């Protein structure tokens, strides 16, 4: 089995008498985008600060590219690029000067600058001051900076924060490309459900410092599969569903069935062959959100 890019085991952080992160374990593989989804205050930033060595775990261990961060800190950190909270950029310097500055600090060859700038699609703006950049461009330059040491693991804290929809999409596409084409393991935290659903391969849901669920986006969604059905004659449709042994609940708009969209065609056929019009048959949207609300007992994410 290949070594995981990042493994956190029983990670716990106690500050004062509060357990901020509580027995959190997860693994990150090369080539995937992993999402850490939770509302504000869930413990996402605290977890990330432990992962990148800014604070020490109270209990538990972290291995990055197989290196335990307590025993082989430098080697572990050499595998990581990160942005915690906001990218550290000097606004009065150009993008290139910022990258040169960090390349010097990290002992990276200047030739790398062109490579990382191209990776994040910022080569054409590199000689302009960072102060003239949009937030999305600053975020991309921050990612370029994090990529300077050729990390295997990229860790970003709320990369979509404050971005407009176009900026969010650019970052999403960039992270997918870095994972798929560069084989990077990407870890992002977010309180935005839609962002995680669209960007990530796997998700852990964190709430009050604990992981409530973990799985692929599809697993989390399909554990809550619901087919919505809207028809012209609900009473007769109910009889047909009951005849076929299909469980259902009725709401104001029609039926909710514990089925996948791929189960819909025979049901639609049964309705139409009984002259019942079908207006709508589709997977219910926002199921990850519903699952999240159910898991957290009612708290919502954006
Ligand atoms: N240094 C600290 N001292 C005391 N409480 C803290 C500290 N850092 C974070 N917290 C608390 O821990 C909880 C989780 O914070 P954080 O990890 O920043 O959450 P998130 O990033 O998910 O919004 C919050 O209630 C926060 O107030
Ligand atoms: Mg945070």
Condensed to tens digits (0 to 9), the pLDDT of residues 122-171 reads: 999 999 999 999 999 999 999 999 999 899 999 999 998 888 889 999 99
Assess whether pLDDT exceeds 70 at residue 285.
Answer: no
CB 295 within 8 A of CB 38: no
**For 74, what's the count of Cα atoms within 13 Å in the CB-facing half-sphere?**
1
Share of the chain above pLDDT 70, in %: 93
Give the separation between CA 34 and CA 165, rounded to whole angstroms: 21
Q: How far apart (Å, rounded) are the C-alpha atoms in residues 280 and 237?
A: 13
Q: Please tell me the total count of domains within the chain.
A: 2
Read off the pLDDT band of 302 (50, 70, 90). Answer: low
Average pLDDT on 278-284 reads 89
Regarding predicted confidence, which is higher, 17 or 287?
A: 17
Q: What is the percentage of the chain residues whose pLDDT exceeds 90?
A: 71
In a domain, 171, yes or no: yes
Q: Are residues 50 and 99 in the same domain?
A: yes
Give the residue from 188, 206, 221 where a domain finishes: 221
Mean pLDDT over all residues of the chain? 90
Same domain for 140 and 270, yes or no, is no
Do 95 and 207 belong together in one domain?
A: yes
Write out the residue range of the structural domain in which residue 271 sits: 227-283
Q: Is residue 146 part of a domain?
A: yes
pLDDT at site 107: 81
* Mean predicted confidence (pLDDT) in 32-46: 94
* pLDDT of amino acid 116: 94
196 and 245 in a single domain? The answer is: no
**Predicted confidence (pLDDT) per residue in 254-274, tens digit:** 899 988 888 999 999 999 999
Alpha carbon separation from 108 to 36, 65, 111 (Å, rounded): 30, 20, 8
Query: pLDDT per residue over 200-215, tens digit each?
Result: 999 999 999 999 889 9
Judgement on whether residues 65 and 158 belong to the same structural domain of the protein: yes
Question: Does an H or E element contain 215, and which?
Answer: strand 210-216
- Please check whether residues 272 and 163 belong to one and the same domain: no
Nearest alpha-carbon partner for 280 in 301, 257, 296, 300: 257
Residues 55 and 130 in one domain: yes
For residue 209, give the ligand 1 atom closest to its CA.
Answer: 14
Together in a domain, 61 and 112: yes
Tens digits of residue pLDDT in 79-111: 999 998 777 789 999 999 999 998 988 888 888
298 found inside a domain: no
Tokens of residue 162, six digits: 């404050």
Residues 167 and 118 in one domain: yes
Number of H helices, E strands in the chain: 11, 14
pLDDT value at residue 105: 83
Which residue's CA is the nearest one to ligand 1's atom 26? Answer: 41
Query: Does the C-beta of 85 come closer than 6 Å to ligand 1?
Result: no
Q: Helices 264-273 and 234-243 meet at what angle, rounded to 10?
A: 120
3 state SS of 192? coil
Asked if residue 22 belongs to a domain, the reply is: yes
How far, in Å, is the centroid of ligand 1 from the Cα of 46? 6
Cα–ligand 1 centroid distance for 87 (angstroms): 19
- Answer yes or no: do 119 and 195 share one domain: yes
Ligand nearest to the CA of 38: 1
Residue 301, pLDDT above cutoff 70: no
Q: Identify the CATH number of the domain in which residue 164 sits.
A: 3.40.50.300
Is residue 217 domain-shared with residue 244, that is, in the same domain? no
- Give the residue-averaged pLDDT of 162-185: 93
Q: Is the CB of 46 under 6 A from ligand 1?
A: yes
Cβ(44) to ligand 1 under 6 A?
A: yes
Indicate whether 210 and 125 sit together in one domain. Answer: yes
pTM (predicted TM-score): 0.80
Alpha helices in the chain (DSSP H): 44-51, 73-78, 95-106, 111-119, 135-146, 165-182, 193-199, 217-222, 234-243, 264-273, 287-296
Burial 5-44 (b: 16+ CB within 10 A, else e): bbbbeebbbeeeeebbbbebebbbbbebbbbbbbbeebbb
Q: Which two tokens stand for residue 4?
A: 């995981």
In a domain, 15, yes or no: yes
Ligand 1 pocket, 48 CB below 6 A? no
Instruction: Flag whether pLDDT at 51 surpasses 90.
Output: yes
């Amino acid at each position: 089995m290949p070594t995981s890019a990042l493994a956190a085991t029983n990670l716990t952080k106690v500050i004062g008498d509060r357990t901020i992160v509580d027995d959190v374990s997860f693994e990150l593989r090369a080539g995937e985008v992993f999402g850490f989804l939770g509302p504000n205050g869930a413990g996402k930033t605290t977890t990330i600060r432990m992962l990148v060595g800014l604070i020490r775990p109270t209990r538990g261990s972290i291995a990055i590219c197989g290196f335990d961060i307590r025993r082989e800190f430098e080697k572990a950190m050499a595998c990581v690029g990160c942005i915690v909270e906001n990218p550290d950029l000097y606004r009065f310097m150009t993008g290139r000067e910022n990258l040169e500055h960090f390349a010097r600090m990290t002992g990276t060859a200047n030739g790398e600058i062109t490579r990382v700038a191209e990776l994040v699609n910022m080569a054409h703006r590199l000689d302009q001051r960072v102060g003239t950049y949009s937030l999305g461009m600053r975020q991309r330059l921050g990612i370029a900076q994090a990529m300077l040491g050729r990390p295997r693991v990229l860790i970003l804290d709320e990369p979509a924060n404050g971005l407009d929809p176009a900026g969010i999409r650019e970052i999403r596409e960039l992270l997918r490309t870095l994972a798929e084409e560069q084989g990077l393991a990407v870890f992002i935290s977010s309180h935005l459900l839609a962002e995680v659903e669209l960007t990530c391969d796997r998700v852990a849901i964190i709430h009050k410092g604990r992981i409530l669920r973990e799985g692929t986006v599809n697993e989390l969604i399909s554990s809550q599969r619901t087919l919505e059905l809207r028809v012209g004659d609900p009473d007769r449709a109910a009889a047909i569903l009951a005849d076929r042994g299909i469980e259902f609940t009725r709401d104001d708009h029609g039926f909710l069935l514990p089925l996948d969209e791929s189960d819909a065609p025979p049901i639609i056929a049964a309705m139409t062959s009984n002259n019942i019009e079908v207006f709508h048959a589709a997977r219910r949207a926002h199921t990850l959100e519903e699952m999240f609300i159910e898991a957290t007992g009612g708290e919502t994410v954006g």
